[in-house]
Amino acid sequence: MKKNLLLLWIGILTLQSCASKKDIHYFQDADQVPPEVIYNQSNIQVNDILSILVTDLVPEAAEPYNISSIQGNSNLGSAEAQRLTGYLVDTDHTITFPVLGKIDVLEKTPPELEEYLRKLLKEGGHLKNPVVIVRIVNSKVTVLGEVKAPGTYDFSEQSINLTQALGYAGDLTINGIRSDIMVFREVNGKRTVGHIDMTTTDWFNSPYYQIKQNDVIVVQPNGPKVMTAGYIPNLGAYLGVFSLLLTTVLLITK
Euclidean distance between CA atoms 87 and 132, whole angstroms:
14
Euclidean distance between CA atoms 104 and 251, whole angstroms:
78
Q: Are 147 and 169 in contact (CB under 8 A)?
A: yes
Exposed, middle or buried, 125 (CB in 10 Å: 0-12/13-18/19+)? Answer: exposed
Euclidean distance between CA atoms 42 and 55, whole angstroms:
24
Q: Are 184 and 178 in contact (CB under 8 A)?
A: no
Q: Are 76 and 68 in contact (CB under 8 A)?
A: yes
Euclidean distance between CA atoms 164 and 170, whole angstroms:
10
Q: Alpha helices of the chain — where are they, by DSSP H?
A: 2-17, 21-24, 59-62, 67-71, 79-84, 110-123, 162-168, 223-228, 235-253
Euclidean distance between CA atoms 150 and 15, whole angstroms:
29
pLDDT of residue 235: 54
In the chain, the largest separation of any two C-alpha atoms, in whole Å, equals 101
**Please, what is the angle between helix 2-17 and helix 235-253, to 10°?**
170
pLDDT of residue 74: 47
pLDDT of residue 187: 76
pLDDT of residue 10: 52
Domain spans of the chain, in order of start: 2-14+227-253, 20-37+139-221, 49-136
Euclidean distance between CA atoms 9 and 39, whole angstroms:
51
| pLDDT < 70: residue spans in the chain | 1-40, 69-83, 188, 225-254
* The model's pTM: 0.70
Please state which CATH class domain 49-136 belongs to: alpha beta
At residue 88, what is the residue type? L
pLDDT of residue 157: 85
Residues 6+ apart with CB under 8 A from 20: none
Q: Are 71 and 64 in contact (CB under 8 A)?
A: no
What is the three-class DSSP state of 33? coil
Euclidean distance between CA atoms 211 and 85, whole angstroms:
25
pLDDT of residue 158: 81
Euclidean distance between CA atoms 15 and 35, whole angstroms:
39
At the topology level, CATH places domain 20-37+139-221 in: Outer membrane lipoprotein wza fold like (3.10.560)
Euclidean distance between CA atoms 90 and 136, whole angstroms:
14
